[in-house]
């Protein structure tokens, strides 16, 4: 639960830092590299070696080498992916060890405790109107999201959950375009497609090999 809670803290902080520097779709794509790596690592067939290469090509297109790149945003995005990889592995372990939401609740408390050195000094600087946004973000982006994900890991197979994770970049790009008026170049869209396709393929193959 300690590792699970720490993964939550690092993932959220790194992801929000990435969102402040990158388009929503790009940040979500980099975040998805976490479960993608977990899926590839669990595979045993030599054909799976092709999937990381496809995913790497997608990352190259997403990060746009040779152009104006926010490297700090890329670094935060990759850190969030590493944390999500740990989160995915330990969520399943905590889920199997607890009948209800006790494990998740304690893990969230650990995560909140680790973030106190940052949240307490920042609290006085939050305006009254911004507290509503903080509350909605906490309720929807943390409490509801983690609860649904935790239950999904307990109820469904790794293939189903990780495949649904592959929809995150697509949803991020759509929300960014519709709600935030963000535009993505053709190479970035192609790169996102490569990462999502490689991740979904790796997950399905990993599950079939385990069976």
Read off the pLDDT of residues 35-76 as tens digits, 9 standing for 90 and up.
777 766 765 665 655 766 777 677 777 766 555 568 899 899
Least Cα distance to 36 among 76, 88, 72, 75 occurs for 88
| Token pair 């999937």 in the structure block, residue | 51
Quote the CA–CA distance of 6 and 89 in Å, as a whole number: 13
Poorest-confidence range of 3-7, 35-39, 75-79, 101-105?
35-39
Q: Which two tokens stand for residue 211?
A: 């069976």
Least Cα distance to 104 among 62, 35, 65, 150 occurs for 150
Task: Give me the pLDDT at residue 204, please.
Answer: 67
Q: Which two tokens stand for residue 45?
A: 């067939």
Task: Give me the pLDDT at residue 173, please.
Answer: 74
**Whether the Cβ atoms of residue 59 and residue 33 lie closer than 8 Å to each other:** yes
Task: Give me the pLDDT at residue 75, please.
Answer: 92
Quote the CA–CA distance of 82 and 191 in Å, as a whole number: 19
Task: Name 166's Cβ contacts closer than 8 Å, sequence gap at least 6.
Answer: 32, 35, 36, 196, 199, 200, 203
Q: Mean pLDDT, the chain, as a whole number?
A: 79
| Section 155-164 average pLDDT | 63
Quote the CA–CA distance of 188 and 164 in Å, as a whole number: 21
Comparing 161 with 188, the larger pLDDT belongs to 188
């Amino acid at each position: 639960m300690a590792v699970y809670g720490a993964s939550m803290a690092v993932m959220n902080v790194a992801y929000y830092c990435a969102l402040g520097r990158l388009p929503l779709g790009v940040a979500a794509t980099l975040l998805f590299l976490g479960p993608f790596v977990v899926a590839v690592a669990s595979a045993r067939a030599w054909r799976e070696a092709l999937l990381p290469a496809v995913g790497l090509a997608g990352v190259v297109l997403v990060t746009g080498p040779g152009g104006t790149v926010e490297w700090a945003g890329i670094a935060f995005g990759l850190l969030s992916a590493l944390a999500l990889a740990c989160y995915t592995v330990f969520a399943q372990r905590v889920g199997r060890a607890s009948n209800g939401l006790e494990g998740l609740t304690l893990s969230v408390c650990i995560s909140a405790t680790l973030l106190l050195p940052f949240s307490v000094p920042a609290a006085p600087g939050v305006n009254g109107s911004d507290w509503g946004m903080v509350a909605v973000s906490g309720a929807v982006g943390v409490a509801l999201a983690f609860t649904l994900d935790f239950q999904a890991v307990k109820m469904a197979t790794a293939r189903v959950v990780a495949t649904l994770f592959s929809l995150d970049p697509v949803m991020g790009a759509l929300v960014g375009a519709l709600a935030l008026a963000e535009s993505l170049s053709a190479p970035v869209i192609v790169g996102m497609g490569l990462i999502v396709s490689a991740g979904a393929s790796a997950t399905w193959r990993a599950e079939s090999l385990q069976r």
